[in-house]
Amino acid sequence: MKIIVFVMTLMMLSSTAFGSCYTNQYGRVVCNNEEKAGGYNRRTGTAWKSEKNQNGITTTQTSKGGTATTKDGKGVYESANGKKCYKTANRHGCN
């Protein structure tokens, strides 16, 4: 469930088109500019960056080695240790 919330948060942040940095309500520093976004969570020490391609697919990488690929609320997350999780229109889970 945490992964789904994380991916959805990243999708919302990456879709904004502001070129500024700010601290959001969770205490995370977030910087956006058109198709790119990034941020840093001081509490956990995790940084992330996100890019959206011309097909609307968002790829997000974390400083701890995780990668998420999402589009329209659906996607795949792969952790640094190789565990994969997915979310489709009707299902979600991890392998």
Token couple for 60: 């997000």
Give CA angle at 6 (56, 1), nearest 5°.
Answer: 120
Give the per-residue pLDDT at 32.
66
Q: List per-block mean pLDDT (blocks of 10 residues) for the chain, which spans 95 residues.
A: 58 51 70 71 86 87 93 92 93 91
Q: What is the pLDDT of residue 92?
A: 92
Question: How many Cα neighbours within 13 Å face the side chain of 5?
Answer: 3
